[in-house]
Every structure is written in structure tokens, then in C-alpha cells.
Amino acid sequence: MSGDPRENPERQAPLHGAASDSGPAMKNTSNGPRLLPAELQNDPKAAHDALLHWDAQDEQILRLLARHPEHGGRLHTLQRADGWLRQRAADAIVARNHPGASGPGPDLLACPTPDELYDFAGGPGAVPLVRERVLAIDRHLAACQACDGFAATLATAPPAALLVGADGSLEQLPAPRLHPRGAPAPVRRFPVRRVLVPLAAAATLVLAVGVWRAFTPVATRAAWPAAPVLRGETAHALVWPRGRVLERSPAVERFVPALAAALPFEVAAESGPVRIQLFRTAGGAFDEPQLVAEWVDGAGSPPALAAGHYTWKAWTKERGLEVELGSRDFEVLRDEALLRELAAILEGGGDDAGVRAVACLDARGFRADARALARTLPASPERDAYLGRAPGR
Amino acid sequence: MEELELVAGLRERRDDAVRTLLERYRALFFHCIGSFEADPAARDDLHQEVVLYVLERLDAGSFDPEKGSFGTWLYRVTWCRCVDLKRKAGARRTPKLTPAGDKVPERADLAPGPGEEAGTEEIGAIVQRGMAHLEAEDQRLLLLRYVDARTLIEIGAELGISVEQTKYRLKRAATSLRRVLLNDFAIEEAVR
């Protein structure tokens, strides 16, 4: 070890050069694994690791853990234990500031401003704070988990800005030269073994997979679309529509009559009436949204929407107070080719024509329409699972 | 496009300047935003929010090229905005609602209720039992940091280690405590 006070005490110094772990700031957040939701359900060790490093998990993982019959209680206790420790720190800060106590400086329980926290945590271009303020913020972090977490996000330096390519200057860069000017490029013999042997192996593998698939009996050729692997927020109250939506045009009525009904607006589990406002935008960042329609869910219905960009906002009432549920964007598109494709699938007939049409819409990103079409199909466990799955992000 | 030209273009809302900002600093924006949001859709929303805020700050003359580069200023503004928005969202998630007609006291009673007090005592006993199973150094670190509310500098000085070592060992001690608590859960369930 080099004796550098910033070095990691748990690691050996590398053989050559400066210590690799003597960076500007060691990350004091957990190095615990960031998990996929499915892993939590199937792997007890993954769930244990997630609990052990619960403060490094995102909100979706925490919600999954909290809902679990077994892990939920454990998570709650671990969080309360952390809260209890931080409350002790807060009590100590209050006691130190109590009149008559001889405190070392102006302690605080109120959170510091983001600018102060940035300077304290040493973000790029941080301005040194006076020592008393540093000590006060340091002490505050013992009592406040949120600020502690914010400060930890500055442990890794940001990437450098992309300086080429943004204004076409990429083309102006000199092309890399593989060989020194003047020196002839070496002539090499065709590497038979290095190229042909892997090619032959790959061809055999492809052939084997093809033969296996051709002779494997398949129960049904169509399958309901599988849920994509998603991480992150899933509890956004405004669920559908989102992403791409087909315009309800005369062509829709002709080709896919099941989609001719008005687009349903779905809000997650709200007990009270939901007020919805629909705005139209030009799709740009600086456009002023224009109010298109406003209705109360259940007492009104959305209008027919022309192609374009839209944003919808929703409010509900909690104990007499109106609470905003959030906003979500979607885009209404006219896609005649897709409609013809859907019509061909549906006209082709077969038991699974509807499922294939749903899968087609889902694969093209028209997932709100895929759900609308799925609702018109006969009920089945697969259909209900499809309609009941979390939309993810 | 040079930095100052970019800044002037952004103030005039020139398309080429906005495009350059979004492309050149995309990685910087998302490095910062990624620390606050895991959900890609929420990241995009936050990105849009932050870019609009950056433009507002530029209009207000917040960027001073003599104090540092545009990228550094941008990172600070982005990070501070993200913290602000997360704090606001946190406050919104835990609203203090009072049923209509209830008499609202002029000053809130900050003292914990009886149920809360009992719960606090119970969790305190669990934590103290867990800490008894930790190594002496881990116990000492947690006590200094959380019971005495000592700063990392003070703890480091007392233990004769650097601030970074103190941070690292504190994190390790907290993880050890959680491991003990989880182990206690497993034992309790096995006994049941």
C-alpha cells in the first residue's frame, strides 16, 4: 500500500504504477447487485442480496420486495432499523444544539440546498465550503437517508462531452491509416483454417437447429406476446394509452372493425372519479400544448383523435382534495400497411388469427391497440394474463 | 460549435444549438439522470424537464464562462435540478392530509403517539440485539456515527484512518448489521 489516505484498505496495491483504487472519491454506496424482478421471484439468494443492499435497489425492486409475503416484513424491519439509527443521530444533533449545550458548530436537521450538497460531495467544479458547513452537512447525512443517497450519486465522475459528430465534424476527421504511408500492405494467404473451420461449425449448428425445429411438434403456431424484460417504475398511475396508437379512421373500420371503438383510457386502481385532460402537441420540446378535450372517466368519453402527438393528464379526488396522478404522452399514427397486414391475418382465419393479430400489433409497438383487440377475443387464462400484465415503462 | 457560440445559440433557441446540446451532452445528462431514475420513460421525462430548466437558467444568466466550462456548469445544474425534483416527489408521496371538518391545531404535535413509541422501542431492541453480534470495530463505528452523530472526519481521526476508509468501513458495518438481522429472521422462522 502506498500510504495514500484515499486508498482502499481492503485491497492489495497493484504491481506497477499508482494505486488503482486511489481515485478522487470512493463510492460509499453499496456494490450490491441490481436485480431483475424475475430473479426476486425465483431465486431466494437474489432476494436475500436485494434485502441486504436494499438502499441500492430501484423503486420497482423495493415494491416487489415489499409486496412479497415473506420478504416484505424483512424489508420493512431493515428499513425501520436504518430509520432508528438515523433517528438516534438526529436526536444527538438536536441535543447538541439545545440551549446550554456546547456544540462544535451550527448543526442542522433541515436538508442542505442541492448546491451545498453538490459542493460537499465534490461534484465536478465543486466550490470548497467553509469547514463548519462541511461538518454540519456531514452530520446531517448521518440523520438523513435521502441526502446521504443524493451525495452518493456524485461518487462517479460524469463522462466527457461528445465533441465530434454533433455538427457534422465527424466527416472532417482524417481517416485512420492502417499502414504507414509508403509501406506496402503485407500480402497474406487466405487463412483456410481460421475462416473455413468456424464457418463449417456454424453451418452445422444452423442446420441442426433447423432440423430440430422442423420436426418438433408445435401445439399452436400463434402465441400471445410475452412480456418484455423490464426494470424500473411500473406503478405510474396513467397506464394506457402510451407509445403508438392507431388512428381510428374509416380504414380501421373497414379492415379491423374490432378496433373501431374509441380508444380506452386506463388509470391504475383509483377508487374515485378520474378527471382527464387531453392535450395535442406538435411533438417538439418547446411546443405549447393545446387542450383538446376534458372528461370524467365513466361519465364521458374521449373524442376521435386525428394523427399527431398527444399528452394526457389525470386527476383524482382524495379526501375532497384533487390530486394530480401524472401525465403521459402517446402518438396517434395512420398506418395503412399495418391495417392491411392485420386484415390479411384476420381474413386468413384459424383459431389463432386474433392472437396473431394481437401479437402483430404488440410487436409493432401499438400495444394500446393490441390490448383493445385482445379484449374482443374470447376469455382465456393467456388472454387475461396478457391484459393483466404490468405495462412496465 | 464552440462553447460560447453554443450558449448564445441556446439563448436564441436556435435549432442547431439545441440539437448540439442534446447530442453533445447526452451522455452527461443521462449519467446524472441515471443515478436518480431507473425507469427509461421516467429518465426521458426527467431529461426533458432538465433541458428546459437548463435553458431557463441560461436565460437568467446563470452561466459564467469565467467560472468554469459549460459542461461542468451543465452537470451541476442537472444534478441540482434532479435533487430538487426528487425532493418534491418525495414530499408529494407522503402528503399530510386532514379530513374535512377536522380541527387543525395551530402547531403540529411532533411527539410520537403511543403506538409509534412502542414500535420505536421494539425496533430499537432489535437493532441493539443485532449490534451485540457485530465485531467490536463495526459496533464502534455505528455508535460513533449514529448515536453520537459524529462526522466522518471526527470518526476517522479517532480511529486513525482516512475519511474514505471511514466511509467504506461504515458501509460494511451497516451491511453486517443487516446480515445479522436477516439471520435472526431466518432463525425465528425456523423455530416457528
Question: pLDDT by residue (tens digit) across A192-207?
Answer: 666 677 788 888 888 8
pLDDT at position A317 is: 78
On whether both B72 and B151 belong to a single domain, the answer is: no
Residue A202 lies in a domain: no
Higher pLDDT, A166 or A294: A294
Q: At what angle do helices B26-34 and B70-93 cross, to 10 degrees?
A: 30
Q: Is A3 on the interface with B (CB under 8 A)?
A: no
More confident residue, A156 or A12: A156
A118, B76: Cβ pair inside 8 Å? yes
Chain A residues with CB under 8 Å of B86 CB are 146, 150
* Residues of chain B neighbouring A231 (CB-CB closer than 8 A): 38-39
B179: CATH: 1.10.10.10
CA angle A231, A233, A238 (to 5 degrees): 135
List of chain B residues whose C-beta atoms are within 8 Å of the C-beta of residue A160? 71
Cβ of B77 under 8 Å from any chain A Cβ?
no
Across the interface, of A9, A153, A165, the residue whose CB is closest to B36 is A153
Q: What is the pLDDT of residue B36?
A: 87
Helices B15-24 and B3-11 meet at what angle, rounded to 10?
130
Which pLDDT score, from 0 to 100, does residue A234 have? 40
CB nearest B1 (choices: A111, A142, A167) = A167
Domain extent at residue A343: 238-388
A250, A369: one domain: yes
> What is the total count of domains within chain B?
2
Asked if residue B106 is part of any domain, the answer here is no
Whether this prediction's pTM lies above 0.90 is answered by no
Return the pLDDT at A305: 85
Which is more confidently placed, A21 or A237?
A237
Test B174 with A51 for CB contact under 8 angstroms.
no
What does B2-51 look like in DSSP terms, one character per residue?
Answer: -HHHHHHHHHTT-HHHHHHHHHHTHHHHHHHHHTT--SHHHHHHHHHHHH
Residue A28: its pLDDT value, please? 41
- Residue A8: which of B148, B151, B168 has the nearest Cβ? B168
Domain count, chain A: 2
The pLDDT of residue B155 is above 90: yes
User: Taking CB atoms and an 8 Å cutoff, what residues of chain B touch A134?
Assistant: 153
For residue A222, name the pLDDT band (cuts at 50, 70, 90): low
Q: Which residue segment(s) compose the domain that B167 sits in?
A: 126-191
Chains A, B: CB pairs < 8 Å: 197
A243-246/A266-267 β-pairing: unpaired
Q: Where is the domain boundary, B48, B78, B93?
A: B93
Residues in chain B with CB shorter than 8 Å from the CB of A6 are 162, 164
Nearest to A86 among B126, B146, B185 (CB): B146
